[in-house]
Amino acid sequence: MITLSSKDIKELCSSFSVDEHEAFVLLQHVLGTPYSSLVLSKEIKISKEQLFAFKSKLKMRFDHVPVAKIVGHKAFYNHDFITNEYTLDPRPETELIVDLVVKYFPNKTDTLSILDLGCGTGCIGLSILDLYPNAKLLLADISTDALTVAQKNAIRLKIDKRCNCVKSDWFSNINAKFNIIVCNPPYVAENYNLDFDTSHDPKIALFGGKDGLDAYRNILPEVHKFLVPNGLLFLEIGINQCDNICAIESRLKVVEIAKDLQGIERTIVFKVKN
């Protein structure tokens, strides 16, 4: 066994240009030891094989592979979600959708039907489903690989009995109406230069055509067919896209435009006009 001191950890972080917090997350993954225990330890016992694995993961991070893609999971809202090369990593700003659902549907005992459209990991829909014990969820995605990940996440949260998965190109295979539709569609313009971390996410979950709005042009004109009376659509958007998205479909009314913690217009809540 090898002993790593706090100084050793700092030197490894420096040599691989990796943030110390991220390094401890990677070390936690290698050792299976709680993060807090590692951070508070003055000395960490590690085998040669584990040290090699740790350095390999530091090298991956040095090469701009996101931590979530290295360890295979990422925290979102109240839970940890499996993620991989087939899914967009959950992001903190997307948690706003869950908060807005709770705002507009404050009774947690309501019997609700929920659609997570383009679900990816399923983090949005499953986080909501976990809060509403009488609700049911449909996870929809065009990617079979993404649906496999979403199903695994449902099982991890022990709420898989209340949700189903369907392969669907937006609404193409949807045959029901819902109280709640949540969606974080691809909204990056095709000529946008991604940062190194984001470039490891699947392109299908990122790019939305020439101006980034193709998905919205497919989704918004169809939404009225899939919402029950007083049902709501919670839709994530990109920077400076709000006005153009709101103008796409005249049959929808904007209920709220919500900003994220950085003050960016991030989520639009729509309802069907009476």
CATH number of the domain where residue 201 is located: 3.40.50.150
Judge if 154 and 215 occupy the same domain. Answer: yes
29 and 129 assigned to the same domain: no
**pLDDT confidence tier of residue 257, bands split at 50, 70 and 90:** very high
Average pLDDT over residues 208-224: 96
Domain that holds residue 53: 2-63
Phi and psi angles of residue 164, each rounded to the nearest 5 degrees, phi first: -125, 160
Pairing of strands 73-76, 79-82: antiparallel
| pLDDT given for residue 195 in this prediction | 81
223 forms bridges with which residues in the sheet? none
N-to-C CA span, the chain: 70
Do 12 and 127 sit in the same domain of this protein? Answer: no
Instruction: Confirm whether 78 is domain-assigned.
Output: no
Report if residue 141 sits inside a domain. yes
pLDDT for res 237: 98
**Domain annotation covers residue 115:** yes
In the chain, how many domains are there?
A: 2
The rounded percent of the chain whose pLDDT value lies above 90 is: 87
Cβ-contact 124, 257 below 8 angstroms: no
pLDDT of residue 267: 98
Is the same domain home to 134 and 264? yes
Helices (H) and strands (E) in the chain, counts: 10, 11
**Does residue 75 belong to any structural domain of this protein?**
no
pLDDT at 197: 80
Q: In terms of domains, do 11 and 135 share one?
A: no
Instruction: Give domain status of residue 69, yes or no.
Output: no
Percent of the chain residues topping a pLDDT of 70? 100
pLDDT in tens, 173-205: 999 999 999 999 999 998 888 887 888 899 999
Domain shared by 152 and 230, yes or no: yes
Beta bridge mates, 141: 167
Evaluate whether residue 266 is within a structural domain.
yes
Arithmetic mean of pLDDT, 95-118: 98
Is residue 54 located within the same domain as residue 120? Answer: no
pLDDT band at 157 (very low <50, low <70, confident <90, very high): very high
Mean pLDDT value across residues 200-221: 94
Q: What is the pLDDT of residues 17-66, one digit of tens each?
A: 999 999 999 999 999 988 888 888 888 999 999 999 999 999 999 999 99
Give the integer Cα–Cα distance in Å for 56 and 58: 5
| Model confidence at 161: pLDDT above 80 | yes
Confirm if 171 and 225 have CB atoms less than 8 A apart.
Answer: yes
> Please, what is the Cα angle at 167 between 186 and 249, to 5 degrees?
45
The answer on 116 and 46 residing in a single domain is no
Beta strands 136-141 and 163-167, pairing class? parallel
Domain boundary residue among 63, 98, 113? 63
- CA 100 remoteness from chain centre: 16
Are 97 and 50 members of one domain?
no
232 and 107 in one domain? yes
SS3 142: coil
Give residue 128's pLDDT. 98
Residue 36: predicted pLDDT = 87
Task: For residue 48, tell me if it sits in a domain.
Answer: yes
The whole-number pLDDT of residue 39 equals: 86
96 with 169, same domain: the answer is yes
What are the φ/ψ torsions at residue 64 (nearest 5 degrees)? 75, 20
Over residues 213-227, the mean pLDDT reads: 97
Q: Which residues contact 159 (CB under 8 A, 6 or more apart)?
A: 126, 129, 130, 137
| Domain-located, residue 178 | yes
Residues 193 and 255 occupy one common structural domain:
yes
Output the pLDDT for position 40: 87
